[in-house]
Structure formats: structure tokens, C-alpha cells
Chain A
């Protein structure tokens, strides 16, 4: 066990897997000499050389698309898209080509590829860097979507992602890179997909979150506690596959639920969560399901981003409203 920030946990997973499996290569913009703009790949080039830690030109589509070709020759690419906001330049390759390769070849040409990308707000980035686009990717089947919220999960889920035979979009909460830390087990371990994590036990209202919204939900739970409300907080960990049974069980603990995410509300993944719960747990509901999300506006310049990214105060308000309903 060692205390690590999330970025350190990610780096340790990359290094461990590259040592364990010589087929693994890391590629992306600025990942080699610089070690990544957030230093996720810092030091890897010294260990593994420039042919396994590859600086690419600034071209997201061919970074993602060439990864499929590399995989067909037996390599295991881990690509970094510098910010998720740039991933739409590779949207077709990731969502249609990588995600569909197994299906369209009837299993002959699967795409064992991990696409890492940081996302999320409140870190004063320039435009087009911070958007939460997970639901856009979740609409494309064949792609697994992994969104860790803790340091030990970041390591264990990343190791699972690289070993997973399907393409994985591994989304890293930007503001959690150094803010989120925790005890990370030494050595090799994986965290399975499709098994949510209970962050905190509670009995009055269930808060559902993932990635950078988990600390927001946890903070809201503290504030609710001070008001005598016991919140049950779960971290989905993976959106695809989704732990449907775990979600229903978490809702049944309290009969009330607030889903929290950073993406704008309309067609955000929160809509999927509440639809699922009303389909599968309707008779356990004590109140209407609620979503706390960003407004249907554009990710702003930093001056108003704290008003865009949902904070704990909004979560508390929504939770109290469900208790009054």
C-alpha cells in the first residue's frame, strides 16, 4: 500500500502493464519526451524506449484508427487523447471503427485498445477542453466506458481496461488528477467492470455519481448528514457495462435517488440511469427520480464554470426536494 494521487496511480498501472506485457505500447500527443501534459506517462519512455512510448503528430483520428491496425498485428495499444474535447476528431474511428470491428468481423478482428482521455471542469482550461461527453460515446455499443473516481480504482480499472479484449474508453477526471488520492495496493490487481462501488452507506436518499462527480456527491452527503439526512452514495465506476442490479439495490436502500453528472442534462447519462430505475424499480420509488447536471448550455470560459459544473449545494437541494416529495 502506498498513498498515491490519481495521476500517480494511473502512471503506476501503465508502467506495471508495460513491464508485464511487452505487447503494450503507449501513444499520443506529448506522451513521450514530455511525459504527457499531465505527466500520466512521465518516465515511461526512459524505461521502455521511443518505440513503445510514441509521440504522435496532432491527429486524433489516425491515432485512434492506427491503433486498430496495430492491434491487428498483435500489439496492445494504449492511446492518449490529450483532452476528451479533442476526441470528437476521432469520433468515427473510436465509435464506428474500433467499437464495431469485433461485430462486423464476427469476432475475427476484435480491437483490444484502451483510449485514455482526461475530461471535466473547474480547472480553468481554455475552451473545448473540459466537456463531459461520456453519454455521446455510450450511445455507441461495442465500446466500454470506464470512469474511475478513486486512486485505487484508477489503477485497478486501468489494468483491467488494457487487458480487456474490447475497446475501452478510460476517462480520467481532470480535477481529480492531484486532488483525489488514496491508499493504492502494491503490485498487480484488477477491478472488475460492471460492479459499482458503495462510497458511503445511508438510508434516506441514494446519490449516484461517477468520476469527478463522486467527490461532489460525497461532499453533499456530508452536508446532508449535518441536516440529519442519511445519504447512500454509489460510484458507478463503469457506464458500459452498467451494474444494473447494483443500481436497483442501491435505490431500494432508500426509495429516493439523485443522479449527479457534469454533462448537460439533456440526453446525459443520468437520463439512462433514471430510465433504468423507473423500469426496474418503479414500485420501490418513494419520490420522483432527480438529475443534477450542468444546464443545457456550452461549457463556459473559466469565469462562470463554477456555475456550470454542478456543486454539492445543488445536490443537497435536489436531495431535500426528493425527501419533501
Chain B
């Protein structure tokens, strides 16, 4: 008898779920999962995120801020998912492109300013705020999120861990190890993949030969779903369902939100070396903020006047964020020796004495 082994077929990409089209029209027969007031709440964070990016970009170019990763173009993926999380019981574990989600979850915006200014105080997380700080090492936050979800489950708490990462991070070993363990222990974890098309200059086609990334989830024993990441309503819908399932003990979900990084990877990047301007123009038509505004306009909840009013208020909010950050004392050399250990070691104490004697002399000179 000739044995015919069954080779598994390659997976086919599923069409991303979409509720709002580019004109902001709800799909026929669909109900909006967010009511107008919650949609406005999300929009406010989205618009703040974009305005904060613009301000930071300008300040970085003036040499007043360090390198940072903008979020422009990804606001719906970020807020559609964040709106499904409950700051009182769920954890948000970011990569580095999730600013408005962190703010909604209670992370103080002035800490983000300080972080981008290079101030050590920028990493502090206030007690009771269930977020981890930005994670610059790709995918390193995924194991942490699995532990958080698993830990809450072991202690019979109803919280879930929502962890953000990108298409680049999906190639890291920690992605595999984390999905694998989360599946085994049925951890309440939402793996929120923001597929923005680029990892610096590396396109999605070089991250994987697979048709998409969401289709990996069944191999780990849990569901994956693909969603239009520029559609606030669709991202919220799938995330809310995933969160609810996780709360009920249904385990993890991998959500691949297809979005686009409208601009550079960071302030240190030059995308003109690798991005086709036509592609970017195509994505500009799919702008996630415009889409929500057009939707709300149809409901009579958005107008040019309101847009102008919000922009003014948001600029004032951004001013306020920088103003609050400016009230922190500047960083000091002694910050280097604090919080390294619970108690300073003999070596660190000795080094501190020696280094700070020099630093003290320098301070005197500069007055």
C-alpha cells in the first residue's frame, strides 16, 4: 500500500473584519458596538495621540526631546482595543506605540513626556495603575503579559492582560514561547498585534512567508482573528469579545489589526528610503480618525465647529502635559544609584561615594 501522508495546507489569509468603511458608513445591518458617547471618548484619545505626536516631533527636531516612536495612523487599533479593557481590573502591557491606551488606563501623560525627555522618572508607574512601562526590546513584554494573565487566573481574579506588539515582534522567539505557554495554561491574555506594515524598513513580507499572523493562533490552541486596524468599531468589537471570553475562562486570543504606520518608525528614521509614496497616499484615505469623525457626523455628533473646538482643547491638554512634566526637578547623577537594588550593595555604595564626589565638584563650578 502506498502511504499518502497528509501535508497540512498553507493557511489562507482571512479577510479582516470591518464595520466602518472609509466614508464612515456602518456596514449594512451592523450595529455599532460603541454608543456615541463612548465613540467620542475614544476619538478624543485618538486625536490627543496624534496631536501629541505632532508636538513631540516638533520638539524632537528642536533638540528638546529624545527619540520616540509616533503612533500616527494607528489610533483606531490602539483605542478600539483599549476601550475594551477595564482599568480597574485589566492590565495593559505596551510595546511603544500605544500612548492613548496607556492614558485611558490611568498612566499619567507627564510621565511619557519625562520618558521622552530622557528623565529617569519617566518610567515610574503610580500605585494601582495596571500598566507596565514602554518596552523597547521587541516581544520581551509578551512573557510578562502571560504571567500577569496567568497570575490573575491563579488568584481567581477576573482581569485580563492586554499586550501590544507589532509585526516585527511576531518574528521574535518570545512571541512563540508566550503564545505557547498562554495556550497551555489558558491565560486570559489578549495578544494585540498591530500589523503596521513595517518594522523600520522591513516589510511584512520579510517577517513571514505565512499568509497572515492571526492564522498562527489555532496552532497554539486558541482563536485568532483578523481585523481592519483603521476601523475603531471593528477593533473594539473583536477585542470586547476576546476580553469577555478570557474573563469567562476561555483563554487567550490573537488579534491581528491591519493598520499602517503613517510616517517614520521613529524620529531617527527616514522612510523616504523605502516607502512608496503611492502606498502611503492610499493609506491616508483610510485615516482612522477621519473615519470616526465621518461616522459621528452622520449621527449629528460631529461638526467643523466641534472639530475646531476639540483641537483647541487638545492643544491646551498637550501644553498642560509638558507643563506638568516641567515641574519635576531635573534628573540628578544620584538617580543612577537609586532603585538598582532594594538596598544598595557595598560595591554600588562605594562607587556612588566616589562618583558623586566628582559630580559635587562639577556642580559647584557651574553654580
Q: Which of B186-234 contact A (CB under 8 A)?
A: none
Q: With the chains together, A199 CA to B315 CA distance in Å?
A: 68
CB of B180 within 8 A of chain A? yes
CB of B148 within 8 A of chain A? yes
Q: List B contacts of A62 (CB < 8 A).
A: 142-143, 146, 174, 177-178, 180-181
- 1/0 per residue, CB under 8 A from B, across A203-221: the answer is 0000000000000000000
Q: Which of B53-107 contact A (CB under 8 A)?
A: 91, 93
The answer to whether B180 touches A69, judged by C-beta atoms less than 8 angstroms apart, is: no
B352 to chain A, nearest CB (A): 12
The answer to whether A66 touches B146, judged by C-beta atoms less than 8 angstroms apart, is: yes
The answer to whether B132 touches A109, judged by C-beta atoms less than 8 angstroms apart, is: yes
The answer to whether B125 touches A109, judged by C-beta atoms less than 8 angstroms apart, is: yes
CB of B257 within 8 A of chain A? no
Stretch at the interface among A34-42, A175-183, A239-247: A239-247
- 1/0 per residue, CB under 8 A from B, across A94-107: the answer is 00110000111111
CB of A165 within 8 A of chain B? yes
CB of B347 within 8 A of chain A? yes
Q: In this complex, what residue of B is CB-closest to A244?
A: B346
The answer to whether A242 touches B345, judged by C-beta atoms less than 8 angstroms apart, is: yes
The answer to whether B181 touches A57, judged by C-beta atoms less than 8 angstroms apart, is: yes
CB of A300 within 8 A of chain B? no
The answer to whether A59 touches B181, judged by C-beta atoms less than 8 angstroms apart, is: yes
Chain B contact residues: helix, strand, loop or mixed:
helix
Q: In this complex, what residue of B is CB-closest to A52?
A: B154
Given contacts A62-B180, A194-B346, A241-B347, contact A103 B148 (CB under 8 A): no
Given contacts A51-B154, A194-B345, A243-B346, contact A67 B147 (CB under 8 A): yes
Q: Which residues of B contact A (CB under 8 A)?
A: 91, 93, 120-121, 123-127, 132-133, 137, 140, 142-152, 154-155, 157, 161, 173-174, 177-178, 180-181, 184-185, 338-342, 345-348, 350
Provide 19 A-B residue pairs closer than 8 Å at the C-beta atoms, listed in order of the A residue.
A65-B174, A66-B144, A66-B146, A68-B144, A68-B147, A69-B143, A69-B147, A69-B148, A69-B151, A69-B161, A72-B147, A72-B148, A75-B151, A93-B143, A97-B140, A105-B339, A110-B342, A142-B340, A165-B342
Q: Which residues of A contact B (CB under 8 A)?
A: 25, 51, 54, 56-57, 59, 61-62, 64-75, 77, 92-93, 96-97, 102-110, 141-142, 144, 164-166, 194, 240-245
